[in-house]
Amino acid sequence: GRFQIQLAREQGASVTAIAAARHAADLRDLGAEQVVEAIELAEGPFSLITESVGGISLAHAIERVAPGGTIVMFGSSSGELTPIGFRQFVPGHEGARLQNFAYYTSGSGIGEDIASLLALVAAGRLETRVALSIPWTDIAHALDALRQRSFSGKAVLTITG
C-alpha cells in the first residue's frame, strides 16, 4: 500500500488510502490526500481501485468505482466470497471492470519490476521503511507481527554467517 500511494502520487493521481487511523498521518506524508478506515467511508467515485481484502470490501469498492473505471483485485485477505451481479454495475458504474492480478499468473518478469522499484528508491523518489528487522531464525515473530498488523512498513529478516 505504501508503494502504491507513492507511485500513484508520482503519476499525479489523487490518492485515497484505506487504513487504521493510527497510520493516517504517515500515509498523508507519503501522498494520500484522504485516509479513511473503511472503503464504505471513502468519497468516490474512483477511476482506479486496488483491492486486496475481498468479500464485503470488494462489494463496497464496486459501489465506488467510476463509470469506465477499474478495480484491480490482488488478494482476498478476508477469505470471504463476494457476490457480484449485473445490477451492482448498472446504473452508475457502466463500463467499469474487475481485473485480477497475481504475479504468478501475469507473465510479468518480477525481476524487472523489482529493479524499477529499486531504481526509484535509489533516486529518492520512493520511500521504503524498515519497521522490523530480526534474525531469520525468529521468522515466527515476524509472521505474528504481520498478521497482527502491529507495524507499518517492511519486515526484514537477517541472515548471519
Average pLDDT, the chain: 91
Cα distance between the two ends of the chain: 33
Q: Which of 51, 6, 47, 46 is nearest to 26 (CA)?
A: 6
Give the pLDDT score at 150.
83
What pLDDT sits at residue 152?
79
Around 60, how many Cα atoms within 13 Å sit in the side-chain half-sphere? Answer: 15
The pLDDT of residue 70 is above 70: yes
**pLDDT confidence band for 129 (50 / 70 / 90):** confident
Domain extent listing, the chain: 38-128, 129-161
Q: Which CATH homologous superfamily contains domain 38-128?
A: NAD(P)-binding Rossmann-like Domain (3.40.50.720)
pLDDT tens per residue across span 98-110 = 999 887 766 667 7
d(CA 144, CA 160): 22
Query: Angle CA(91)–CA(97)–CA(103) in degrees, nearest 5?
Result: 160
Q: What per-residue confidence (pLDDT) applies to 103?
A: 72
Rounded Cα distance between 21 and 38, Å, is 10
Query: In this predicted model, what pLDDT tens digit does every residue of 16-61 receive, in sequence order?
Result: 999 999 899 999 999 999 999 999 999 889 999 999 999 999 999 9
> Which among 28, 67, 69, 27 has a CA at the least distance from the CA of 49?
69
Q: pTM here?
A: 0.82
Give CA 108 to chain center in angstroms.
19
The predicted structure's pLDDT at residue 107: 63
Question: Above pLDDT 70, what percent of the chain?
Answer: 97
112-125 residue pLDDT tens: 888 999 999 999 99
